[in-house]
Amino acid sequence: MKVQVRNLDNISILDCSGDVDLYSSPRLREALLAEIKADGPSVLVNMSGVPYIDSSGIATLVEGLQLSRQTKTRLGLFGLRPNARSVLELARLHKVFTIFAAEAEALEKIGSTKPFSGL
């Protein structure tokens, strides 16, 4: 699994690719928490390259969400594949996270002044 970070207009975007499981989730955790702590206003996680996520990956996202609430950082996910979305829905987390269909929508809404529902 790889995590690449890019910055667009002060928005950090984490492009994830590969399975997120017990082996790889520490890499996502390190990158995600670092971006949230970096004091930027918004962090987006691009999940379009993630075909599989297990409970350790979900735990990483939840940890990121909790930290983002402390730091007042806007955190959003986009590009979730159907199975990953199903797993989040089963765990009733789809309403806890701010989820966008695609990057364009995420960038458009994260740039607005309206706060995310997840905050």
Partner 1 sequence: MIRVVMGSEPRLLNILRAVVIFRAQEAGLSYPEAEYLALAIDEAAANVIRHTYGGCHDALLALEVRNLPDRLEFLLEDWGPKVCEDLIHPRPLDDLRPGGLGTFFINSFMDECSYEQDCQEGNRLKLVKFLSRKGDWCNEGSSTQSG
Nearer to partner 1, 11 or 25 (CB): 25
Q: Which one of 49, 52, 103, 109 is in contact with partner 1 (CB under 8 A)?
A: 52
Q: In sequence order, what are the residues at sequence separation of 6 or more whose Cβ sits closer than 8 angstroms to the Cβ of residue 5?
A: 12, 13, 14, 15, 31, 35
Task: Check residue 27 and report its DSSP letter.
Answer: H
DSSP 43-55: EEEEEEE-S-B-H
The Cα–Cα gap between 83 and 46 comes to 15
Q: Which one of 4, 7, 10, 22 is in contact with partner 1 (CB under 8 A)?
A: 22
Q: Which one of 40, 54, 109, 116 is in contact with partner 1 (CB under 8 A)?
A: 54
* Residue numbers at the binding site for partner 1 (CB under 8 A): 19, 21-23, 52, 54-56, 58-60, 62-63, 65-66, 82-83, 86-87, 90-92, 96
